[in-house]
């Protein structure tokens, strides 16, 4: 179980930490950058970035010799092989300090540079006596994730995948809502209202996890406040990390359609059934049936559906559901 940051309701913009190079800052080893255009041209219009470059902050300079992760026995070292300089202790110290500072920045997500020996999250190269392994994680990334285990973290390269991109941004906005829930003086009534709004979105990711979380809420009166908040946050963000699928989305949409079964609107329900079938078949993106069910919910005054975060988990300007 891990502790959740409990802070006041955040009225500031969504804040996302980033490796400085992925938003165009020329801080890479060769003096260049690795600008990710979705971050700068689309998401950057709606969020505030907090840039970090561990290599520069630890004093390596720009340009600089490349470094790599090297396994020496049971230890993982970060080495400049050209000059035979060991940066491990300095980088570990900087990573711990910087991660603690960032924990007080009110971040809602973090995008890190793939393959980096400091910032890479997945499959970073580790050099060994017997060859190269692709199972490492950068030193800064490890410290960041350990310090803020609920924080949505992704690599910039993986954001080129539409489903991974949508999942990351969805988690960022869900994490913001979660932080807003567990403000000082939160009540169990606040939790029940929050869980009701989030339940369809949770079901699109993990039906079993959603039901287990519901049982936790039902038993919340018997759990100390801090322990409940920790457990709920752990489970909530774990569910959101699990990928939503076409089948799961279609099941949620069918469930939403059931709220309209008494409405005198056979044509609307038939159109919705067709839209869900087309989505299952890959003929239309998710935005089509979601927009239609939203229209029907408004027409028939189904406020419980209109209040659901499933219908608008992130700003429509990002057009994320146009591609999944």
The DSSP annotation for 116-175 comes to: -TTT--SSEEEEETTEEEEEE--HHHHHHHHH-TTS-EEETGGGGSHHHHHHHHHHHHHH
Say yes or no to pLDDT of 6 above 70: no
Q: What percent of the chain has pLDDT over 70?
A: 97
Peptide bond into 159 cis (omega under 30): no
Q: What percent of the chain has pLDDT over 90?
A: 91
Q: What average pLDDT does this structure show over 145-164?
A: 97
Q: With bands split at pLDDT 50, 70 and 90, how would you rate the model's confidence at 322?
A: very high
pLDDT at 9: 42
What does the block give as tokens for 174? 């869900």
Q: With bands split at pLDDT 50, 70 and 90, how would you rate the model's confidence at 22?
A: very high
Average pLDDT over the chain reads: 94
**pTM across the whole model:** 0.93
pLDDT at 11: 57
How far is the C-alpha of 71 from the C-alpha of 55, rounded, in Å?
Answer: 20
**Nearest to residue 233, comparing CAs of 279, 289, 175?**
175
How far is the C-alpha of 196 from the C-alpha of 184, rounded, in Å?
Answer: 20
pLDDT at 26: 97
Count Cα atoms within 13 angstroms, Cβ side, for 218.
Answer: 6
Say yes or no to pLDDT of 261 above 90: no
pLDDT at 93: 98
Which residue has better confidence, 254 or 5?
Answer: 254
How far is the C-alpha of 310 from the C-alpha of 202, rounded, in Å?
Answer: 8
What does the block give as tokens for 293? 């069910």
């Amino acid at each position: 179980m891990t502790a959740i940051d409990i802070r006041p309701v955040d009225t500031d913009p969504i804040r996302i930490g980033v490796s400085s190079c992925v938003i165009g800052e020329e801080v890479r080893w060769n003096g260049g950058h690795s600008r990710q255009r979705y971050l700068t041209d689309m998401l950057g219009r709606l969020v505030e970035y907090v840039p970090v470059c561990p290599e520069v902050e630890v004093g390596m300079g720009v340009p600089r010799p490349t470094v790599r992760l090297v396994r020496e026995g049971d230890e993982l070292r970060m080495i400049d092989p050209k000059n035979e300089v060991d940066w491990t202790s300095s980088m570990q110290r900087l990573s711990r300090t910087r991660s603690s500072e960032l924990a007080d920045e009110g971040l809602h997500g973090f995008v890190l540079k793939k393959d980096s020996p400091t910032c890479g999250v997945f499959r970073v190269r580790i050099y060994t006596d017997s060859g190269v392994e692709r199972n490492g994680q950068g030193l800064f990334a490890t410290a960041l994730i350990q310090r803020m285990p609920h924080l949505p973290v992704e690599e910039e390269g993986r954001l080129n995948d539409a489903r991974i991109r949508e999942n990351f941004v969805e988690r960022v906005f869900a994490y913001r809502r979660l932080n807003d829930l567990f403000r000082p003086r939160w009540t169990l009534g606040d939790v029940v209202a929050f869980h009701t709004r989030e339940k369809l979105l949770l079901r699109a990711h993990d039906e079993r996890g959603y039901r287990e979380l519901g049982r936790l809420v039902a038993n919340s009166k018997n759990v100390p406040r801090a322990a409940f908040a920790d457990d709920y946050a752990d489970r909530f963000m774990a569910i959101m990390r699990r990928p939503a699928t076409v089948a799961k989305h279609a099941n949620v949409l069918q469930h939403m359609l059931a709220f309209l079964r008494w409405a005198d609107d056979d044509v609307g329900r038939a159109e919705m059934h067709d839209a869900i079938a087309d989505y299952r078949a890959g003929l239309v993106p998710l935005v089509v049936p979601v927009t239609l069910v939203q229209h029907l919910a408004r027409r028939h005054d189904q406020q419980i559906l209109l209040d659901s975060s499933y219908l608008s988990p992130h700003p429509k300007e990002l057009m994320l559901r146009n591609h999944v």
